[in-house]
Amino acid sequence: MRIKRIAPSEAPDINLIPLIDVLLVIVIFLVVSTTFMQPSQLEVDLPGTQSAKEDTAPTEALRIRIGRDGNYAFGSLGVLNETQLRRELTKAMATNKDGQERRAVVEADAAATHQSVVLVMDMLASLGVARVSIATAGGKAP
């Protein structure tokens, strides 16, 4: 019995369209998921506490960061001085038209001066912020 081999007339090809579709979905997912982050240009090293609770600050709270060099950051805004910070906080408070109680979270670097923290708290008090929280790094002893 003789078996005849049939030579393939065309070379097999690789279909790249499904691969491209999967890669596009992955790229879209990465682009969409990275837009939810609010990077800050001011890195702070929060002081630790013995009994730290979870960060329960509401997402609508005003977040002010104080760097070790005395610079400030508000929300996603970059490095600000005192005048710029006061202007941005005033704008943020002006958008509060529903009369809801505003809250603020102060994230001060462990090496930040006491004066810069007091200055921010004084600004918030003069603008009518009802509750001010000071963020700490959970579980680290000072």
Per the domain annotation, does 109 fall within a domain? Answer: yes
Instruction: Provide the residue range defining the domain that includes 116.
Output: 62-134
Per the domain annotation, does 114 fall within a domain? Answer: yes
Per the domain annotation, does 30 fall within a domain? Answer: no
Per the domain annotation, does 94 fall within a domain? Answer: yes
pTM of the model: 0.57
Per the domain annotation, does 101 fall within a domain? Answer: yes
Q: For 24-79, give the secondary structure using H, E and C.
A: HHHHHHHHHHHCCCCCCCCCCCCCECCCCCCCCCCCCCEEEEECCCCCEEECCCCC
Closest by alpha carbon to 64, among 3, 117, 12?
117
The answer to whether residues 134 and 108 touch, using CB atoms and an 8 Å cutoff, is yes
Structure tokens given for 59: 């997402």
CATH for 111: 3.30.420.270
Per the domain annotation, does 20 fall within a domain? Answer: no
Per-residue pLDDT reduced to its tens digit, 16-25: 899 999 999 9
Per the domain annotation, does 69 fall within a domain? Answer: yes
Per-residue pLDDT reduced to its tens digit, 76-130: 777 778 888 888 888 888 776 666 677 888 888 888 888 888 888 888 888 888 7
- As for how many domains the chain has, the answer is 1
The answer to whether residues 55 and 136 touch, using CB atoms and an 8 Å cutoff, is no
